[in-house]
Amino acid sequence: MTPKNDKPEAAKNATPKAKKGGVSFRYIGTVAFLVLVIIAFVFFPSVARDPGNASNPVFGSFAGKPIAFAAGNYFARQVEAIDEYYTQQGYAQKDNQFYILQVWQQAFSRTAIHFGILDDAARAGLSVSKGYLDDAVMSNQAFLEDGVFSLTRYRETSPAKQAEIRDNLREEYLKTSYVTDLIVYRPSQKEKDLVKASMKRERSFEFVVFPFADYPKSEMAAYGAANPDNFTTLTLSRITMATGKAEAEQVKGKIGDNSMTFADAAKNYSTDSFKAQGGVMGAKRYYEITGDFKNKDDAKALLALKKGEVSPVYEAASGGWTFYRVEESAIAPDFTDDDTLKYVGIYMSGWERGRIEDFFLARARDFTAGAQSDFTASAARAGIEVKTAGPFPLNFGNPFNDPQRPLFKPVSVAGVPAMAGIESNEKFIAALWKAVPGGITEPVVARDAVAVARVKEETAAGDDTLLAIEYFYPSVCIQSFENTYYDRLLKSPRLKDNFMETFSKTFKVN
């Protein structure tokens, strides 16, 4: 859970509002020393420091500017602010390394966004006048006494601290101004009316699903019997080399003349994930290894090899060169065995999904034909549970789906994993709204099932819902644009993210 409603540090210090009105930049910040560093040393007494800069570990950079941790800097203040938030919410687990990771990772993301906005503001030529900063400094909490600027307090503050406060105020103003200008949005009345029109009707549904997980074993067995090679079991060892075919042939020759064992050759020369165990791959179904070959026909040759035989050198799909030793002769599949059928099901889910979809579409059409008169009774006769969903409006993709501000009721089918993501299934949403009240939809392929729904009821949204859209739709848009902008910064090629590498060095448990 991420802290919400973050405010600019300038706001926390009672800085005058920027002259450009709009949405405040959402960041928590404080100037106190970092509590979590102390916590980290208490619970992780042996901490490996960054070898390049022991006191200021660098976690990455944005546009070439290092994202480093130092006491009192922006990164440090974010770590403290996030930890404070979780503590207040009762979520803090300061003896838990995963908790420390979560706090620091969020602080890194905030700092990366902070640097990204400042870089964008600089590219846009944004600046802060000396006069504005002078006014902001005079309104800063650090220099106020009884609500009035105190020259004595100001003079008692070190020049370095004065400069730090001034620089923080400048950065916060730049961020607030740039983000406000970027995301400010005033939708026309026609746009708001269009949104209200789509939200004005809400529908409730009852539906049944035909999960792909119920695909019959008899169908799997029939498919397996028609394609037995795919499910033949091979017990193999493998050596993969990146140097070239000639070198791979030389190593294979050493194994052939018994000057080196296969296991030793794998440990000395192989570059794949089986190197450490002497090349041993274990038992594999044939379809599991075909993707390792550049020429898929090469894999078929392994089926004919006997126990102890070594294959020719083949070009690997990865670009290297590979050869195999057969540890046990190939075992033909038994399609009466549940374990074999499990592999058939896995294979079909990946490479023959259309066949599974067609099977359940046919079942769903049969159900639909008999359900026109009585949906519930037809489901009961078929032994299928009827589920309900709604009411919700025509809300494709659940845009602006903020759980804290549910302005638009989301399309939701809870408790049915096979229907996950249905809110973004254009065909299914269209079918729900094309059907007349009381009518049944055509069968539609969902995520991992075929679904058939009946429009149970259509109602009108309340006036309060439509009024809320009128007044809050612009701010919902702004929030969405703001989040999109921050996400884009975190995916920017200007961001170099070394967080995990540096974190693992800084908080290493012996």
212 touches 171 (CB < 8 A): no
Tens digits of residue pLDDT in 341-386: 999 999 999 899 999 999 999 999 988 887 877 888 888 888 888 8
Tens digits of residue pLDDT in 310-326: 999 999 988 889 999 99
Q: Backbone phi, then psi, for 325, in 5-degree steps? A: -120, 135
> Could you give the CA distance from residue 383 to residue 363 in angstroms, rounded to a whole number?
13
Task: Kindly report the pTM of this predicted structure.
Answer: 0.56
Beta carbons within 8 Å of 495's beta carbon, 6+ residues apart: 60, 61, 62, 112, 116, 489
- Looking at residue 46, its pLDDT comes to 25
- 265: helix, strand or coil: helix
Tens digits of residue pLDDT in 425-462: 788 888 888 888 888 888 988 888 898 888 888 887 77
> Could you give the CA distance from residue 405 to residue 472 in angstroms, rounded to a whole number?
9
- Looking at residue 23, its pLDDT comes to 32
> Could you give the CA distance from residue 40 to residue 47 in angstroms, rounded to a whole number?
8
- Looking at residue 67, its pLDDT comes to 93
502 vs 183: which has the higher pLDDT: 502
276 touches 288 (CB < 8 A): no
- Looking at residue 66, its pLDDT comes to 93
Long-range (24+ apart) CB contacts under 8 A made by 436-442 are 437/203, 440/368, 440/371, 440/372, 440/375, 442/368
75-79, 114-118, 143-147, 250-254, range with the lowest pLDDT: 143-147
Give the CA angle between residues 81, 86, 90 to the nearest 5°. Answer: 145
- Looking at residue 92, its pLDDT comes to 67
Burial class (CB in 10 A: 0-12, 13-18, 19+), 189: exposed
15 touches 169 (CB < 8 A): yes
240 vs 18: which has the higher pLDDT: 240
- Looking at residue 455, its pLDDT comes to 87
322 pairs with which residues across the strands?
240, 314
If you write DSSP's letter for every residue of 412-474 in order, what string do you get?
Answer: --TT-GGGTTGGG-HHHHHHHHHSPTT-BPPPEE-SSEEEEEEEEEEEEPPHHHHHHHHHHHH
* Closest by CA position to 213, among listed 414, 356, 385: 356
Residue 17 has pLDDT above 50, yes or no: no
> Could you give the CA distance from residue 184 to residue 211 in angstroms, rounded to a whole number?
45
Torsion sign across C-alpha atoms 125, 126, 132, 133? negative
Q: Give 25's pLDDT tier (boundaries 50, 70, 90).
A: very low
- Looking at residue 223, its pLDDT comes to 94
CB atoms within 10 A of CB 309: 12
- 400: helix, strand or coil: coil
Beta carbons within 8 Å of 59's beta carbon, 6+ residues apart: 67, 68, 69, 75, 108, 497, 498, 499, 502, 503
Tens digits of residue pLDDT in 226-237: 999 999 999 999
| DSSP at 142 | G
Tens digits of residue pLDDT in 110-122: 999 999 999 998 8
Burial class (CB in 10 A: 0-12, 13-18, 19+), 442: middle
| SS3 track for 48-80 | CCCCCCCCCCEEEEECCEEEECCCCCHHHHHHH
> Could you give the CA distance from residue 61 to residue 491 in angstroms, rounded to a whole number?
13
